[in-house]
Structure 1
Protein backbone atom coordinates (compact mmCIF):
# COMPACT_ATOMS: atom_id res chain seq x y z
CA UNK A 1 0.00 0.00 0.00
CA UNK A 2 1.10 3.54 -0.70
CA UNK A 3 -0.24 6.34 1.49
CA UNK A 4 -0.45 9.89 0.11
CA UNK A 5 -0.76 12.38 2.99
CA UNK A 6 -2.86 15.46 2.37
CA UNK A 7 0.20 17.62 3.04
CA UNK A 8 1.92 16.01 0.04
CA UNK A 9 -0.80 17.17 -2.37
CA UNK A 10 -0.72 20.67 -3.86
CA UNK A 11 -3.97 22.50 -4.65
CA UNK A 12 -3.84 24.53 -7.86
CA UNK A 13 -6.26 27.25 -8.98
CA UNK A 14 -6.54 26.13 -12.62
CA UNK A 15 -8.92 28.93 -13.68
CA UNK A 16 -10.56 31.63 -11.58
CA UNK A 17 -12.43 29.94 -8.72
CA UNK A 18 -11.65 26.34 -9.76
CA UNK A 19 -9.25 24.47 -7.48
CA UNK A 20 -7.93 20.97 -8.21
CA UNK A 21 -5.79 18.75 -6.02
CA UNK A 22 -4.02 15.76 -7.53
CA UNK A 23 -4.28 12.96 -4.96
CA UNK A 24 -3.21 9.31 -5.19
CA UNK A 25 -2.35 7.59 -8.47
CA UNK A 26 -1.94 3.89 -9.10
CA UNK A 27 -1.21 1.82 -12.19
CA UNK A 28 -4.80 1.84 -13.48
CA UNK A 29 -6.41 5.01 -12.07
CA UNK A 30 -5.86 8.31 -10.28
CA UNK A 31 -7.99 10.48 -8.02
CA UNK A 32 -8.31 14.24 -7.60
CA UNK A 33 -10.31 16.57 -5.37
CA UNK A 34 -12.14 19.59 -6.80
CA UNK A 35 -13.54 22.78 -5.30
CA UNK A 36 -15.49 25.20 -7.51
CA UNK A 37 -16.56 28.60 -6.22
CA UNK A 38 -20.00 30.06 -7.02
CA UNK A 39 -20.06 31.39 -10.59
CA UNK A 40 -16.81 29.64 -11.56
CA UNK A 41 -16.53 27.32 -14.55
CA UNK A 42 -14.26 24.62 -15.95
CA UNK A 43 -13.87 25.51 -19.64
CA UNK A 44 -14.73 23.05 -22.39
CA UNK A 45 -11.98 20.44 -22.80
CA UNK A 46 -11.38 16.75 -23.41
CA UNK A 47 -8.84 14.15 -22.37
CA UNK A 48 -8.40 10.46 -23.19
CA UNK A 49 -9.17 9.40 -19.61
CA UNK A 50 -12.54 8.05 -18.52
CA UNK A 51 -13.69 10.33 -15.67
CA UNK A 52 -15.92 9.08 -12.85
CA UNK A 53 -16.91 11.57 -10.18
CA UNK A 54 -18.88 12.13 -7.00
CA UNK A 55 -20.27 15.48 -5.80
CA UNK A 56 -19.81 15.77 -2.03
CA UNK A 57 -21.34 19.24 -1.60
CA UNK A 58 -23.18 21.65 -3.88
CA UNK A 59 -24.55 21.37 -7.42
CA UNK A 60 -22.59 21.28 -10.67
CA UNK A 61 -23.94 21.83 -14.19
CA UNK A 62 -22.12 19.85 -16.89
CA UNK A 63 -22.19 20.21 -20.68
CA UNK A 64 -21.22 16.87 -22.23
CA UNK A 65 -21.67 15.99 -25.87
CA UNK A 66 -24.03 18.94 -26.40
CA UNK A 67 -26.31 17.95 -23.49
CA UNK A 68 -26.74 19.62 -20.08
CA UNK A 69 -26.66 17.59 -16.86
CA UNK A 70 -27.21 18.88 -13.32
CA UNK A 71 -25.41 16.81 -10.66
CA UNK A 72 -26.00 17.47 -6.95
CA UNK A 73 -24.55 16.39 -3.63
CA UNK A 74 -24.62 12.61 -3.32
CA UNK A 75 -24.79 12.11 -7.11
CA UNK A 76 -22.10 10.52 -9.23
CA UNK A 77 -21.34 10.67 -12.95
CA UNK A 78 -19.31 9.11 -15.75
CA UNK A 79 -17.73 11.04 -18.63
CA UNK A 80 -16.29 8.79 -21.36
CA UNK A 81 -12.68 9.33 -22.40
CA UNK A 82 -12.32 11.69 -25.36
CA UNK A 83 -15.74 13.32 -24.77
CA UNK A 84 -15.72 17.13 -24.84
CA UNK A 85 -17.14 18.52 -21.59
CA UNK A 86 -17.34 21.57 -19.31
CA UNK A 87 -18.72 22.28 -15.83
CA UNK A 88 -20.12 25.34 -14.10
CA UNK A 89 -21.23 26.19 -10.58
CA UNK A 90 -24.43 28.18 -11.20
CA UNK A 91 -25.42 28.24 -7.53
CA UNK A 92 -24.54 30.42 -4.52
CA UNK A 93 -22.57 27.76 -2.62
CA UNK A 94 -19.22 26.14 -3.46
CA UNK A 95 -19.12 22.68 -5.02
CA UNK A 96 -16.69 20.02 -3.79
CA UNK A 97 -16.14 16.49 -4.96
CA UNK A 98 -13.84 13.75 -6.15
CA UNK A 99 -12.90 12.64 -9.66
CA UNK A 100 -11.29 9.32 -10.60
CA UNK A 101 -9.49 8.95 -13.93
CA UNK A 102 -8.60 5.79 -15.83
CA UNK A 103 -5.97 5.41 -17.09
CA UNK A 104 -4.28 7.53 -14.41
CA UNK A 105 -4.12 11.24 -15.13
CA UNK A 106 -0.77 11.79 -13.43
CA UNK A 107 0.44 14.72 -15.55
CA UNK A 108 -2.58 16.95 -16.32
CA UNK A 109 -1.81 20.14 -18.23
CA UNK A 110 -3.15 22.24 -15.35
CA UNK A 111 -0.13 21.25 -13.26
CA UNK A 112 2.14 23.23 -15.64
Structure 2
Protein backbone atom coordinates (compact mmCIF):
# COMPACT_ATOMS: atom_id res chain seq x y z
CA UNK A 1 0.00 0.00 0.00
CA UNK A 2 2.78 2.43 0.92
CA UNK A 3 4.58 1.81 -2.38
CA UNK A 4 1.56 3.19 -4.25
CA UNK A 5 1.15 6.18 -1.93
CA UNK A 6 4.89 6.91 -1.83
CA UNK A 7 5.04 7.32 -5.59
CA UNK A 8 2.69 10.31 -5.29
CA UNK A 9 4.57 12.01 -2.42
CA UNK A 10 7.83 13.75 -3.37
CA UNK A 11 10.59 12.99 -0.86
CA UNK A 12 8.59 10.32 0.98
CA UNK A 13 10.76 7.86 2.93
CA UNK A 14 11.15 4.16 2.35
CA UNK A 15 8.68 1.97 4.19
CA UNK A 16 9.66 0.20 7.37
CA UNK A 17 7.76 -3.07 7.29
CA UNK A 18 6.80 -4.41 10.70
CA UNK A 19 5.28 -7.91 10.43
CA UNK A 20 3.78 -7.79 13.94
CA UNK A 21 1.44 -5.01 12.75
CA UNK A 22 -0.33 -7.27 10.26
CA UNK A 23 -3.85 -7.70 11.72
CA UNK A 24 -2.53 -6.27 14.98
CA UNK A 25 -4.63 -5.20 17.94
CA UNK A 26 -4.73 -1.46 18.74
CA UNK A 27 -2.45 -1.95 21.77
CA UNK A 28 0.24 -3.48 19.53
CA UNK A 29 -0.04 -0.52 17.14
CA UNK A 30 0.29 1.94 20.02
CA UNK A 31 3.40 0.12 21.27
CA UNK A 32 4.91 0.46 17.79
CA UNK A 33 4.18 4.20 17.68
CA UNK A 34 5.68 4.65 21.14
CA UNK A 35 8.87 3.00 19.88
CA UNK A 36 9.27 5.34 16.90
CA UNK A 37 12.52 7.29 16.67
CA UNK A 38 12.46 10.73 18.29
CA UNK A 39 13.61 12.25 14.99
CA UNK A 40 10.43 11.09 13.23
CA UNK A 41 8.09 14.06 12.91
CA UNK A 42 5.40 12.13 11.04
CA UNK A 43 4.31 8.50 11.22
CA UNK A 44 2.15 6.88 8.55
CA UNK A 45 0.78 3.68 10.03
CA UNK A 46 -0.84 1.54 7.36
CA UNK A 47 -3.06 -1.27 8.55
CA UNK A 48 -6.24 -3.26 8.11
CA UNK A 49 -9.57 -3.63 9.84
CA UNK A 50 -10.63 -4.23 12.46
CA UNK A 51 -7.47 -2.99 14.19
CA UNK A 52 -6.67 0.23 12.33
CA UNK A 53 -10.11 1.78 12.81
CA UNK A 54 -10.19 0.91 16.50
CA UNK A 55 -6.64 2.29 16.84
CA UNK A 56 -7.59 5.65 15.29
CA UNK A 57 -10.80 5.85 17.31
CA UNK A 58 -9.02 5.15 20.60
CA UNK A 59 -6.25 7.67 19.88
CA UNK A 60 -8.78 10.43 19.25
CA UNK A 61 -11.31 9.19 21.80
CA UNK A 62 -13.79 11.94 22.57
CA UNK A 63 -12.21 14.33 20.08
CA UNK A 64 -13.82 13.14 16.85
CA UNK A 65 -17.06 14.27 15.27
CA UNK A 66 -19.75 11.57 15.47
CA UNK A 67 -19.62 11.06 11.69
CA UNK A 68 -15.92 10.26 11.85
CA UNK A 69 -16.26 8.04 14.89
CA UNK A 70 -18.66 5.95 12.79
CA UNK A 71 -16.22 6.01 9.87
CA UNK A 72 -13.44 4.74 12.14
CA UNK A 73 -15.69 1.78 12.97
CA UNK A 74 -15.93 0.68 9.34
CA UNK A 75 -12.65 2.29 8.07
CA UNK A 76 -13.02 1.28 4.40
CA UNK A 77 -10.10 0.06 2.31
CA UNK A 78 -7.91 2.97 1.22
CA UNK A 79 -9.25 5.34 3.88
CA UNK A 80 -7.01 7.79 5.72
CA UNK A 81 -7.30 9.37 9.15
CA UNK A 82 -5.09 12.32 10.07
CA UNK A 83 -4.39 12.76 13.77
CA UNK A 84 -2.01 15.09 15.60
CA UNK A 85 -0.31 14.80 18.99
CA UNK A 86 0.97 17.57 21.25
CA UNK A 87 3.84 15.51 22.68
CA UNK A 88 7.62 15.82 22.89
CA UNK A 89 8.35 12.18 22.10
CA UNK A 90 6.42 9.32 20.50
CA UNK A 91 6.84 7.38 23.73
CA UNK A 92 4.25 9.78 25.22
CA UNK A 93 1.52 8.81 22.73
CA UNK A 94 -1.55 7.50 24.52
CA UNK A 95 -5.25 6.75 24.09
CA UNK A 96 -7.29 9.93 23.86
CA UNK A 97 -4.14 12.00 23.33
CA UNK A 98 -4.58 12.77 19.64
CA UNK A 99 -6.43 15.60 17.94
CA UNK A 100 -8.55 14.62 14.97
CA UNK A 101 -7.86 16.57 11.77
CA UNK A 102 -9.38 14.69 8.86
CA UNK A 103 -10.86 11.47 7.59
CA UNK A 104 -11.35 10.54 3.95
CA UNK A 105 -12.35 7.40 2.10
CA UNK A 106 -11.80 6.75 -1.61
CA UNK A 107 -15.56 6.77 -2.25
CA UNK A 108 -15.71 10.37 -0.96
CA UNK A 109 -12.81 11.47 -3.14
CA UNK A 110 -14.34 10.25 -6.38
TM over 0.5: no
TM-score by length of 2: 0.28
Q: TM-score with structure 1 length normalisation?
A: 0.28
Q: Which has the higher helix share?
A: 2
Is the strand fraction higher in 1 or 2? 1
